[in-house]
Amino acid sequence: MKRRDFIKTSAIGLTAPTAIFGGTKIKTNRNAPIILSTWNHGLPANDAALKSLQNGGNAMDAAEMGARVPEADPKITSVGFGGFPDEQGNVTLDACVMDSTGNAGSVAFVQNIKHPVSVARKVMEDTKHVMLVGEGARQFAVSQGFEEMNLLTDESKAEWEKWKMKRSEMTPHETHDTISVLAQDKNGDLAGACTTSGWAYKMHGRVGDSPIIGAGLFVDNEIGCAAATGLGEEVIKTTGSFLVVELMRQGYDPTTACEEALNRVIKRHNGNPDFQIAYIAIRKDGKIGSACIKWSFEYALAQGGVNKLHKIEGMI
């Protein structure tokens, strides 16, 4: 096949869903802000995000302010302060942000800093880079005035010690409750934030999807935004959040886009993965969507003055 013909054939294949849903111009949702977050810790995150919008913040401010709430809550063992440590007892954190201009910042494997999401924003706004990791990320945070603290609470330490005694395998679906916050402000602009302590008792040095732009989070201000929670390794292998946004671009509605992205994972695991991944998405016209592989998943949606949890069932 000639290169030109190949491109033509591929383009037809790629754009096929547009023939069904697409071609329709998406009208921007203005003056009706939306905050969409993962899990029930999304509820207080949404409240903080809304407050930020009410105080004149934009979508990026809202997403960051929302994500900081679970980061600071020692009772949430999958994010920030109080997060379960790695197998050696170190709490190592991953986070990223992406704004409406397509700018992005990220930190991975950072230790002793309570608000990695804000460090990620500093990386985006005050450096020429997108991603800082480990000791470099910590040093950068300290240079920017972030306080250092021990993130391992007595409760999380006790759980880790119990795990060490038994070395029991925790199933991944119990251990990946990342907070992802997507926001659309009154101008219709989109932004997102994603932050986690990752897989409990992971190998030292493990980094998941949450700080990887395109995997844990992706924002395209023309089309929409998407974010992930769940087993990061599988989200990375399918560039999950980018895929959801690209599927929306092709004409998939937000929920179908989330389902189709998960189908890629389900197929790779012969139709029966034994782990959880969930996506949330906001399309530029304000339509939201979500899907999860199995069991169930809850997202928190703040829209029109109501902030509420919604439960969805798994696809398999």
Q: Is 178 a catalytic residue?
A: yes
39 secondary structure, DSSP code: S
Q: What per-residue string of b and e applies to 137-170 under the rule 16 or more CB within 10 Å gives b? A: bbebbeeeebeeeebbbeebeebbeebeeeeeee
Tokens in use for 37?
A: 């977050």
Asked if residue 99 lies in contact with residue 60, where contact means CB atoms within 8 angstroms, the answer is yes
Q: For the CA atoms of the chain, what is the radius of gyration?
A: 19
Q: How far is the CB of 30 from ligand GLY (least distance, A)?
A: 32
CB of 269 or CB of 308, closer to ligand GLY: 269
CB of 199 or CB of 279, closer to ligand GLY: 199
Q: How far is the CB of 170 from ligand GLY (least distance, A)?
A: 13
* Residue 2: other Cβ atoms inside 10 A: 7
CB of 53 or CB of 131, closer to ligand GLY: 131
CB of 53 or CB of 95, closer to ligand GLY: 95
CA separation, residue 129 to residues 33, 74, 97, 121, 194 (Å)? 30, 30, 13, 11, 18
DSSP 219-230: EETTTEEEEEEE
Q: Which residue, chain included where needed, has tokens 């945070």?
A: 141
What is the Cα–Cα distance from 48 to 37, expressed in whole angstroms? 12
Q: What per-residue string of b and e applies to 57-75 under the rule 16 or more CB within 10 Å gives b? A: bbbbbbbbbbbbbbbebee
Nearest to 247 by CA among 208, 271, 281, 278: 281
Q: How far is the CB of 203 from ligand GLY (least distance, A)?
A: 12
Residues that bind ligand GLY (CB under 6 A): 176, 178, 196, 198-199, 208-210, 229-232
Q: How far is the CB of 205 from ligand GLY (least distance, A)?
A: 13
Q: How far is the CB of 227 from ligand GLY (least distance, A)?
A: 10
CA separation, residue 206 to residues 28, 85, 124, 136, 303 (Å)? 39, 11, 22, 16, 36
CB of 216 or CB of 286, closer to ligand GLY: 216
CB of 151 or CB of 231, closer to ligand GLY: 231
The one catalytic residue among 92, 175, 178, 229 = 178
Q: How far is the CB of 197 from ligand GLY (least distance, A)?
A: 8
Helix 59-72 with 116-126: angle, nearest 10 deg: 150
Annotated active-site positions, please? 178
